[in-house]
């Protein structure tokens, strides 16, 4: 809503936070003053304001380095059901200290159906029932945020009334079952329990490594063939020959990296498979595939004396590379983009047209080759050392029916 702004709370907000919590929460849910002050100091409290008025907050804590727990969600009564809690929770799970953790969780009592619906709408799933030592009111549902896409078996879903906690405990007993929705029935609300299809990570990673090896091997064969033609032609520019030699070297490196990923998977000594695969993917694309594709119009210009068809081929290839760079299939799509990165993407896309034009006009192509090598090297360095792990940048539902 216009006029709303969110930010991390600071120590100066403690008085207003305490007032909001006293107004909006049950006394048992309000954190102690030292705990609240510590959470604020650590940046674990996010607030939403409008014209200086505090409208809502989300308080979290970090029980362990890989776990963030949502402890309190408070919204001023005058602005409830206006999206305050949804916005705060959405921004909380996207903060760097939360998005880099494997687990973001919350515990919700069976009677707090409004909070359950909020969590379910925000990408959380109810995964297990936590029984207290006291009476029925102590039974709570453990919710956790789904950071990866998972698939629901459409034929394995059933409904459990909210107040039937014994059946709920039985339904959530298997590790592949979870609460995915809270739906109305004639006699009250009910949990929708769904079974998730569980993939074998080792099998998936093994298949990914094998696909990388097969792909890089095919690219290496194509580059080697083109390099053979380059050495057999007396008109082929020396700088483009060096570019293809560099592409051969980079593709061989990617094969070695993919083989290392297979060895890492076989030894299961550490969880570095994703990091190794990122190296293989980046070296294969920016060191092998793109130099090979960009060299094709140059090769055609040497084999054909028709500059018009050469330029048409180069323009088509530039358009295809530009489309690929913007598509969800490219490696660039998996990382956050900056203005400098967009500039490098544009330089990569126009390289086939510039290179083919220089060769067709019998002009000096060394400056073009140097600029291309610098561009691809900069992109390789950027993705390997300045970006984190590969991730889907487009928002999508965390679970879906296959």
DSSP string, 145-178: E--S-EEEEEEEEEEEETT-HHHHHHHT-STTEE
For the chain, the 3-state helix, strand and coil shares in percent, each to the nearest 5, are 55, 20, 25
Beta carbons of 17 and 47 less than 8 angstroms apart: yes
From first to last of its 402 residues, the chain has per-residue pLDDT tens of 567 888 888 899 889 889 988 888 888 778 888 888 988 898 889 988 888 788 899 998 888 888 888 998 888 888 888 888 889 888 888 887 766 677 889 988 888 888 899 999 888 999 888 876 654 557 888 999 887 767 777 778 899 998 887 888 888 888 888 888 888 888 788 999 988 876 666 676 777 888 888 989 999 999 999 888 888 877 778 888 899 999 999 999 999 888 877 766 655 555 577 778 888 889 999 999 999 999 888 888 877 778 889 899 999 999 999 999 888 888 888 777 788 889 999 999 999 999 888 888 888 788 888 999 999 999 999 888 876 655 444 444 555 655
Q: Which stretches of 160-237 are DSSP H helices?
A: 165-171, 201-232
């Amino acid at each position: 809503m216009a006029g709303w702004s969110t930010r991390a709370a600071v120590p100066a907000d403690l008085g207003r936070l305490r007032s909001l919590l006293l107004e909006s929460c049950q006394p048992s849910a309000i954190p102690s003053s030292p705990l609240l002050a510590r959470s604020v100091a650590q940046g674990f409290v996010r607030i939403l304001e409008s014209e200086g008025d505090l409208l809502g907050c989300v308080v979290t804590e970090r029980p362990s380095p890989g776990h963030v727990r949502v402890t309190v969600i408070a919204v001023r009564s005058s602005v409830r059901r206006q999206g305050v809690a949804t916005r705060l929770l959405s921004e909380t799970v996207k903060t760097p200290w939360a998005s880099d953790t494997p687990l973001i969780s919350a515990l919700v009592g069976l009677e707090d159906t409004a909070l359950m619906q909020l969590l379910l709408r925000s990408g959380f799933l109810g995964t297990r029932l936590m029984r207290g030592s006291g009476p029925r009111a102590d039974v709570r549902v453990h919710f956790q945020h789904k950071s990866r896409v998972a698939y629901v078996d459409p034929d394995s879903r059933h409904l459990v009334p909210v107040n039937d906690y014994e059946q709920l405990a039985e339904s959530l007993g298997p590790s592949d079952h979870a609460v995915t929705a809270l739906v109305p029935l004639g006699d009250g609300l009910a949990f929708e329990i769904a079974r998730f299809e569980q993939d074998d990570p080792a099998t998936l990673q093994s298949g990914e490594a094998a696909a990388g090896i097969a792909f890089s091997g095919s690219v290496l064969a194509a580059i080697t063939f083109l390099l053979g033609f380059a050495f057999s032609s007396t008109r082929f520019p020396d700088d483009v020959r060096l570019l293809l030699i560099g592409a051969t070297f980079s593709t061989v490196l990617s094969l070695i990296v993919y083989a290392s990923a297979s060895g890492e998977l076989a030894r299961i000594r550490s969880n570095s498979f994703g990091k190794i695969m990122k190296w293989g993917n980046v070296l294969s694309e920016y060191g092998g595939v793109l130099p090979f594709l960009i060299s094709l119009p140059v090769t055609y210009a040497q084999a054909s004396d028709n500059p018009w068809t050469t330029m048409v081929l180069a323009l088509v290839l530039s358009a295809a590379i530009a489309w690929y760079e913007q598509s969800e299939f490219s490696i660039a799509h998996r990382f956050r983009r900056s203005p400098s990165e967009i500039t490098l993407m544009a330089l990569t896309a126009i390289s086939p047209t510039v290179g083919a034009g220089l060769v067709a006009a019998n002009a000096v192509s060394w400056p073009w080759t140097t600029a291309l090598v610098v561009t691809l090297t900069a992109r390789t360095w950027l993705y390997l050392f300045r970006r984190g792990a590969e991730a889907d940048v487009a928002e999508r539902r965390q679970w879906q029916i296959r």
